[in-house]
Amino acid sequence: MTKIIYIINGPNLNLLGNRETEIYGQSTLNDIENKCKEYSKNLCLDIVFKQSNIEGEIVNFIQEAGNKASGVIINPAAYTHTSVAIHDALKSLIVPSIEIHLSQPAKRESFRHKSFVAEVVNGTISGFGPNSYLLAMKAIDDLLKS
Ligand code: DQA
């Protein structure tokens, strides 16, 4: 049976393709969404892809996913390093969740070394560019099957 997975993207990820391409690469968020939707066919997942620059909207997406989805993949972007609200929203989920990043925050500025999200998700995948999204889809599919 096909399972719904929310893929939630935080602030400034709408600028991918133009933003710090030496770190984040050339793919736009739309390119990544298309890759995820293509890959979802292999896994029997149905992807709902969201982006917001607003912290409260991201909390709303997580709560919506809690009612409608079998799992959550989230790139909280800069809110990773600041947001107690997103931490709390993820903590309240019963379904599995995975934190992802295009870059490897641990190799970057020290303010990116702290994740408020890591403590409340099943796992984190970072540093693989757009492939982080696909690896997380595989991981959540495996989790849902186990
Ligand atoms: C990011 C890493 C964050 O530190 C940063 O604020 C982002 C993107 C990533 O995908 O590598 O906006 O989440």
Whether 38 shows a pLDDT value over 90: the answer reads: yes
Answer whether 78 contacts ligand 1 (Cβ < 6 A).
yes
d(CA 57, CA 47) in angstroms, rounded, equals 18
Which of the four CATH numbers 2.120.10.30, 1.10.287.990, 3.40.50.9100, 3.30.1490.120 does domain 3-145 have? 3.40.50.9100
Answer whether 103 contacts ligand 1 (Cβ < 6 A).
yes
Amino acid residing at 128: F
Task: Please indicate whether residue 24 is annotated as part of the active site.
Answer: yes
Burial of 75 (0-12, 13-18, 19+ CB in 10 A): buried
Q: What is the DSSP letter of 135?
A: H
Q: What per-residue confidence (pLDDT) applies to 21?
A: 96
Q: What per-residue confidence (pLDDT) applies to 87?
A: 98
Whether 44 shows a pLDDT value over 90: the answer reads: no
Burial of 47 (0-12, 13-18, 19+ CB in 10 A): buried
d(CA 80, CA 34) in angstroms, rounded, equals 24
Give me the residues paired with residue 46 across strands. Answer: 4
**What is this structure's pTM?**
0.98
Task: Give per-residue pLDDT as tens, 99-138.
Answer: 999 999 999 999 999 999 999 999 999 999 999 999 999 9
d(CA 30, CA 36) in angstroms, rounded, equals 10
Average pLDDT rounded to a whole number, residues 36-56 = 97
d(CA 4, CA 129) in angstroms, rounded, equals 23
Task: Give per-residue pLDDT as tens, 49-102.
Answer: 999 999 999 999 999 999 999 999 999 999 999 999 999 999 999 999 999 999
Task: Please indicate whether residue 101 is annotated as part of the active site.
Answer: yes
Task: Give per-residue pLDDT as tens, 19-32.
Answer: 999 999 999 999 99
Answer whether 101 contacts ligand 1 (Cβ < 6 A).
yes
Q: What per-residue confidence (pLDDT) applies to 1?
A: 81
Q: Which residues contact 117 (CB under 8 A, 6 or more apart)?
A: 74, 76, 80, 83, 86, 87, 90, 99, 124
